[in-house]
Chains A and B, each alone.
Chain A
Amino acid sequence: MENFFSRYKNPLVLMAILFVQVVALATQVKRPEGSGSAASGGTRLIRVWTVMAISPFERALVASGSFVRRNFHNYIDLHDVRQQNRRLQDEIAQLKLEQVRLQQDAAQAKRLRSLLGFTQHYVGQLLPAQVIGTSGAEQSHMIQIDKGSRSGVKVDMPVITPDGIVGKVKDVFPFVSMVLLINDRDSGAGVILQTSRLQGVLRGNPQGELHVGDIMSDEKIDVGEQVVTSGGDRIYPKGLPVGMVSRVSPDRDNEPFLAVKVSPAADLSRLEEVLVVTKVAQETAQQSGQDANVRAADILSERLPSIPKPEEKKARVPNSTAPAAPAPAPASPAANATKSAPHPSVPAAPASSAPPATATKTGAAPKPVVKTEQKAANPLASTTASQKTTTPTGAPAANGASVNQNPKPKASPTPVKKLKAPAAAEVSPTPKPAASPESPQEKPPR
């Protein structure tokens, strides 16, 4: 027997080592979801030791490299800083114009969401992190970042760049975290095609390519269509850019479906700095408690025509860029009430008796001044999504969607339906004269 062991010592040791590793492997494969749970306690210890041993050198090397590069760039950048400044000023001017348009669109979207009681998830808080390493293997697409649990990073937090999503946090250590990229074969994300509005699941493959699955072959998808997150996976907030469709072909392995290849928006092979979404703000577009307590009479007094005070009249006339509609003006608020009547008591208001002076509020004006304070038009840009829209000089009555005369859309869909027909019939018997800002019927209020 002793002779047997001494003779076959090497193969026996080999088998013993392989057996131990196979058992360890089987334990992990049996419970694949245990990557962050107690199921992988032993293997997690190995990962912790390994990361603790090597990551300090990575951090030091990245930090020193960044220091040298930053100082070098600071010197180089001074050469063309004036020209760059001028170019950036022009860009800011253009972006401001674009921002005004986007704010109006966002305000409209918010109003519509409020009508639906829609719950929206925004990027609430971002933690910048530096990429300090990769998995080192072609078969595994992971990166390491220099922020860990001490910085508030947790498992499954989404990781993004300004260009698009990058992946999610897989393992967290005190000072380092491992991020599973979206092009890894174990990765997945709920996405939506921006134009065709088709939803699917984005998956990576061993070659590091991105594919959207679960889309039937009879759907029409154009190459170049943008892909954004759908929010359905409860990891990535909705609306974050993912990439662009680069190829559409029938999926031979999965016959009734399409193989939609996606080029990632973020350059996953050259990541240097990323943003960890440490907090996802959730906003349900409902009326606030303060708004809910507003009396119907107050709302009516806001909306329906009333006699302006003399000083108010004086203040309004010099500022108004165009005259408001005179006599037929009551039709305008009434029509508005049919769109978003806040309370069942709306029809009881003495709308017909009101003078037309409030046409400045509800009637037509050529240049509506829209004052908007909004931070969450872009989910990447904001956290609170607080928004206030006021229309001090009114808006074209015919275009209720673009600029709503009602600054606080408080109505739930149900009362609107109930009040729609009677309000329009009783209060607004005559056609609206203020449909167009350029209407010749518009005259200054008397």
Chain B
Amino acid sequence: MNYAAVSLTSREEIEVHRFSWPVSLGIPLLAIFIQVFFPLRLPFLSIFDLPLLVTIFFAVARRRPIPGMITGALIGTVQDAWTSLPIGVNGIAKTIIGFLASSLGVKLDVDNPGSRFLMTFTFYLVHRVIYVVIVLALVGGNEPFSWGHTLVAALANALLSVVLFAGLDKFKQRM
């Protein structure tokens, strides 16, 4: 069993997980598929950002920044391909989230439902801020920022992450 760098947390040993190739490839694609297909029938589902949740999950489970960044970059880029925005907006935002999540996973216990809730809530807000900054500063677009809507969306995604991460835990493989 490999161990990641021990941080100032109460836990001295933090497990590092890996995933099989079908899971690493299939779950992000499935998340994007669900993200683009189901809002067609149920428009309110577009409040969820499944690709972001999957990015966070893989990053904190692997606890290695570089795979976390690459996973975020790839998922974000594929997600951008479905939108009218230039490719790279979600890619940049999710790359940073992947880096932060994997760095955080090294230092904190992120297997607890409570910590998962707080972590996803925070990362959603950070992701949204990064997204708006990119659109405003780099793309030159007009992106309104509503705190009320953003907080509700962050809450919804955090709640979903607790359930989703518990289900995805079954695909984890110990290194």
Contacts and interface: CB of A to CB of B under 8 A. Distances in A.
A442 to B, nearest CB: 65
Given A13-B66, A25-B139, A46-B77, A139 B85 contact: yes
Given A21-B88, A25-B138, A138-B46, A207 B83 contact: no
Contacts of A53: 29
Contact of A141 (B32, B37, B84): B84
A25 B141 CA distance: 13
B87 A28 contact: yes
A21 B92 contact: yes
Interface core residue of B82, B99, B141, B143 (most chain A CB under 10 Å): B82
Nearest to A9: B66
A61 B83 contact: no
Contacts of B103: 10
Interface core residue of B47, B77, B88, B92 (most chain A CB under 10 Å): B88
B88 A25 contact: yes
16 contacts: A17-B73, A17-B95, A22-B138, A25-B138, A46-B77, A47-B87, A54-B32, A132-B40, A133-B37, A137-B83, A144-B36, A170-B84, A186-B84, A206-B142, A206-B143, A206-B144
Interface residues of B, number: 46
B144 A29 contact: no
B87 A46 contact: yes
Interface residues of A, number: 51
A271 B36 CA distance: 14
Contacts of A26: 138
B91 interface: yes
A146 interface: no
Nearest to A179: B84
Listed from nearest, the 10 A-B pairs whose CB atoms lie closest are A140-B83, A25-B88, A136-B35, A50-B81, A28-B86, A136-B36, A10-B65, A47-B81, A21-B88, A133-B36
Given A21-B73, A142-B82, A144-B36, 14 more contacts: A10-B65, A14-B69, A21-B77, A24-B88, A25-B86, A25-B87, A25-B138, A43-B86, A46-B80, A53-B29, A134-B37, A138-B46, A142-B83, A269-B43
Nearest to B40: A134
Contact of A25 (B36, B69, B92): B92
A136 B32 contact: yes
Nearest to A187: B84
A139 B83 contact: yes
A236 B87 CA distance: 28
A132 B40 CA distance: 8
A135 B29 contact: no
Contacts of A140: 82-85
Interface core residue of A57, A139, A141 (most chain B CB under 10 Å): A139
Given A10-B65, A136-B32, A50 B39 contact: no
Nearest to B50: A136
Interface string B138-175: 11111110000000000000000000000000000000
Contacts of B35: 136-137
A138 B47 contact: yes
B56 interface: no
A180 B36 contact: no
A50 B82 contact: yes
A25 B29 contact: no
A50 B83 contact: no
B4 interface: no
Interface core residue of B73, B86, B142 (most chain A CB under 10 Å): B86
A185 interface: yes
B136 to A, nearest CB: 11
Contact of A46 (B36, B81, B143): B81
Contacts of B143: 139, 206
Contacts of B43: 269-270
Contact of B84 (A51, A142, A269): A142
B141 to A, nearest CB: 7
B65 A61 contact: no
Interface string B14-33: 00000000000000010011
Nearest to A13: B66
A18 B96 contact: yes
Interface in A42-61: 43, 46-47, 49-51, 53-54, 57-58, 61
Contacts of A17: 69-70, 73, 95
A434 interface: no
B40 A25 contact: no
